[in-house]
């Protein structure tokens, strides 16, 4: 093996350990500010795979500006995320997201068109006042849907005994007010496009079991990290902006990890000849209460509440 590939192997193995340590200690990893196409490539090379990815890019309207190649760009991002996750929840305004419907890259498929409905959007324009955003639930054919996370105790018991005739999954319209003015004041961080935890939580509950992994590589103020933590899931988050990365650190009370500079640019050169290695999820999440059991596939399994 050449000196170069030995060095690359060492670099990747140290980074893997670093990520495992932060997951194990904090339940969440905040990566240093990076472009989504770089962070997704690095996680892929590290052998990380998650059950659920939240993908909430700028919307090609309003904050974040407009780009002519928006559809192609988002498809490139989806292609990059696809090997990393069983479920991908892609956000946008309906008239923009509609362009993706016929173009979803396989093996991802459209599971559901979700709508987040809010009544409290202020508006400066003359015309329809926006009251919804879309979230496309995309997933691989065998991805597990965790409808059990939405059942109450009685329904869970009936399910266990094969007596639940209809499984009442959550509705495809999520009704939660926009974080705006005094609404959700405790949650607001100052990020111009922050989603309520209660909205992201629903997606995480559908796409993961307790102790599983959530990714958000355009994470803004770190809402996915917060929602994952509140629900006893691990998460890895990253945003291109220094300002928003600092916001997420403050909000989650966790410092970003350091990454070797060689992994924060064009990684493919140094990764050449590297053998794929599966990332081992930690057995413990330092922030979770006791009473968890180590299960198959190095995942934590939790007793269902």
Ligand X SMILES: C[S@@+](CC[C@H](N)C(=O)[O-])C[C@H]1O[C@@H](n2cnc3c(N)ncnc32)[C@H](O)[C@@H]1O
Could you list the residues that contact ligand X (CB under 6 A)? 35-36, 56-58, 191, 193-195, 218-221, 223, 239-241, 244
C-alpha span between 11 and 13 (Å, rounded)? 6
CB of 30 to ligand X, least distance (A): 13
CB of 305 to ligand X, least distance (A): 25
Q: Which is nearer to ligand X, 39 or 299 (CB)?
A: 39
The sign one gets for the Cα dihedral 11, 14, 20, 24 is negative
Q: Which is nearer to ligand X, 5 or 193 (CB)?
A: 193
296: left (phi over 0), alpha (psi -120 to 50) or beta: beta
C-alpha span between 100 and 60 (Å, rounded)? 13
CB of 51 to ligand X, least distance (A): 18
C-alpha span between 158 and 248 (Å, rounded)? 40
The sign one gets for the Cα dihedral 145, 148, 150, 155 is positive
CB of 294 to ligand X, least distance (A): 31
CB of 22 to ligand X, least distance (A): 19
**Parallel, antiparallel or unpaired: strands 28-30 and 85-92:** unpaired
Q: Which is nearer to ligand X, 58 or 234 (CB)?
A: 58
Which residue's Cβ lies closest to ligand X?
220
CB of 275 to ligand X, least distance (A): 28
Q: Which is nearer to ligand X, 197 or 209 (CB)?
A: 197
Q: Which is nearer to ligand X, 218 or 300 (CB)?
A: 218
| Buried b / exposed e along 31-47 (16+ C-beta atoms within 10 A) | bbbbbbebbbbbbbbbe
Q: Which residues contact 8 (CB under 8 A, 6 or more apart)?
A: 270, 271, 272, 273, 274
Number of other CB atoms surrounding residue 191 within 10 Å: 21
What is the DSSP secondary-structure string of 78-128?
A: HHHHGGGEEEEEEEE-HHHHGGGGGGPPTT-EEEEEEEEE-S-----SSSP
CB of 245 to ligand X, least distance (A): 9
Q: Which is nearer to ligand X, 7 or 67 (CB)?
A: 67
Q: Which is nearer to ligand X, 31 or 45 (CB)?
A: 31
C-alpha span between 215 and 71 (Å, rounded)? 22
C-alpha span between 97 and 78 (Å, rounded)? 13
């Amino acid at each position: 093996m050449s000196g170069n590939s030995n060095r690359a192997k060492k670099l990747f193995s140290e980074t893997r350990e670093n990520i495992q340590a932060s997951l194990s200690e904090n339940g969440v990893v905040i990566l240093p500010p990076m472009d989504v196409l770089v962070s997704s490539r690095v996680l892929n090379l590290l052998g990380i795979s998650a059950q659920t990815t939240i993908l909430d890019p700028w919307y090609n309207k309003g904050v974040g500006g407009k780009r002519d190649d928006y559809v192609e760009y988002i498809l490139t991002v989806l292609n990059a995320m696809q090997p990393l996750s069983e479920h991908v929840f892609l956000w946008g305004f309906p008239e923009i997201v509609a362009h993706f419907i016929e173009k979803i890259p396989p093996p991802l498929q459209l599971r559901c068109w979700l709508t987040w409905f809010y009544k409290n959007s202020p508006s400066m324009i003359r015309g329809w006042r926006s009251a919804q955003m879309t979230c496309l639930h995309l997933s691989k054919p065998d991805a597990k849907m965790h409808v059990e996370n939405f059942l109450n105790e009685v329904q869970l018991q009936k399910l266990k005994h094969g007596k639940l005739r209809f499984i009442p999954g959550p509705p495809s319209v999520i009704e939660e007010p926009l974080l705006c003015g005094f609404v959700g004041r405790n949650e607001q961080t100052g990020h111009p496009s922050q989603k309520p935890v209660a909205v992201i939580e629903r997606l995480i509950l559908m796409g993961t079991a307790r102790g599983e992994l959530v990714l958000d590589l355009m994470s803004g103020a770190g809402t996915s990290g917060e929602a994952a933590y509140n629900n006893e899931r691990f998460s890895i988050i990253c945003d291109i902006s220094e300002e928003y990365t600092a916001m997420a650190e403050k909000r989650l009370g966790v410092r970003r990890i350091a990454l070797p500079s060689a992994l924060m640019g064009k990684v493919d050169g140094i990764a050449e000849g590297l053998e794929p290695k599966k990332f081992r999820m930690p057995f413990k999440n330092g922030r979770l209460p006791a009473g968890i059991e180590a299960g198959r596939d190095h995942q934590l399994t939790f007793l269902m509440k």
